[in-house]
Amino acid sequence: MAIINNALSGALAAQVALATAGQNIANLQTKGYTRQGALLTAVGPGADPRAAGNGVQVSSLLRFSDGYKSQAMWRAASELGAHTQTQPYLSQLESVMGDDTASLSAGIDEFFGALNAVAGDPGSTPLRQQVLTSAGLMAERFNGLNNVFNAQLQSVRTQRSAIVDSANAQIATIARLNQQISEAQASGRSASSMIDARDQAIDDLAGKMALEVSDNADGTRNVSLKTGQALVLGNLHGTLKAAPTATNPQEFTLTFANTTYVLDAGKLGGQLGGLTKYETEKLLPMQSDIADIARQIADKVNTQLGAGFKPDGTAGTPLFVYTPGSNADMLKVTGSFLVADLAFSSDGTPGDTGNLQKLVAVKTQPITVGTIGTVLLSDADTQLIGKLGVDSQLNKAALKTSQTVRTQSVDDWQSTSGVNQDEEAVNLVEFQNMFQANMKVISVANQLFDATLAMMG
């Protein structure tokens, strides 16, 4: 009888819908899971004009996804990644350079303070010794800060290489899942869990670099860098490599289909772009600025000492040795320099402090520092710290904004694709009622069939 077939199709459809709701509830806390729904379609009556229809069928399982919301979430992940990786390094430099016990300003003040103190008694051995001691301590502050720069450079480059390795694994995963999804859809099997896994891999990859994602008719997705180079085309994928050279420590390459492209890492976006921009636009210039200050202090002090005379009447000799480059000891006190080598006299006369006064005045002389221009020596470090503080605050503001945008984009995605516990509970009740109602129809149909047989019998 048609009534039994119709009710049976309804009961079976209700079972599929109940199983789908159960799957959603089971994955209530699964990251990246996209909720599903059974699409019920009425089966037409066919050729019989007196037939109401032939029941219901589950024509497909729907994935509640919105490509625009996914793209927005991936873009937000890239922005967040860029600022998240940078802030710890900026905060560390702020802490070190702003600390009175380690700041360059304090070391410079102590050195010139010692020079000023010896003016009252230029022949005092303890006061002269204090000048040498403070000179060594000032040099140690420069060297200590330079060591912090070098440690950050090493950390940035190591972290960047680790991110590249992780990114390559995710790129390969996306290509593999593309292949599996294409095969599943071609054979009529559900690919929802594989699509979720692929989207999660894309989301993780988007945090590392800015991406452009496009869909293909066979269910695969192409992924490329925002600069245009392809990372994944269907089931084909490229390989990123951190390939630093002597002239370009930030060099990156992408190999795809036996062709290698050189990438500008600063334009990649995400964590990779953020780290590279921090290295090239903040860390290396700051290290160069500190080197500028150390070099000009050494030059000015050494030049002035060379213009004076020691207590024995001989010409002054250099106090500092400056070593260019990223050398750990960029500034040192000359190893053989003695208290008696301090040339404070301008004419060789015992007790004369003419050259000492000029040495003290070096502190108020202008120097040229790469990123801030011409400033007084006494103000150079303070201005660098101020500039660093501005950079840090700007990054913190951008980080806070990107965190808000990311949170909002994830919430927006959840509103469409996430599992709502209350909604699924309602679905369970509704489809349970549907199943029970169809079973009741089957029961009534059986009673009618038995009654009909009894009448004919």
pLDDT surpasses 80 at 47? no
State the Cα–Cα distance between residues 353 and 331, nearest whole angstrom. Answer: 26
Tell me: pLDDT of 1 over 70.
Answer: no
d(CA 198, CA 204): 10
Angstrom distance (rounded) from CA 123 to CA 143: 30
Give 267's DSSP letter: G
Contact 38, 61 (CB under 8 A): yes
pTM of model > 0.75? yes
Backbone angles phi, psi at 223, to 5 degrees: -125, 130
Measured between alpha carbons, how far apart are the two ends of the chain, in Å? 18
Contact yes or no for 10/454 (Cβ under 8 A): no
Alpha helices in 27-66 (DSSP H): none
270-288 per-position pLDDT tens digit: 999 999 999 999 999 999 9
Mean pLDDT of 241-270: 84
How much is the pLDDT for 126? Answer: 94
Mean pLDDT to the nearest integer, 411-425: 94
Outline where 27-124 has alpha helix (H): 67-98, 104-118
* pLDDT for the residue 293: 96
Confidence class for position 243, pLDDT limits 50, 70, 90: confident
Q: Which of 408, 410, 405 is nearest to 79 (CA)?
A: 405
Question: Using an 8 Å Cβ cutoff, are 250 and 287 in contact?
Answer: no
Q: Are 13 and 432 in contact (CB under 8 A)?
A: no
Query: Which pLDDT band holds residue 70 (cuts at 50, 70, 90)?
Result: very high
Under the banding of pLDDT at 50, 70 and 90, the label for residue 350 is confident
Q: Give pLDDT tens digits for 85-102.
A: 999 999 999 999 988 777
**Amino acid at the residue 321:** V
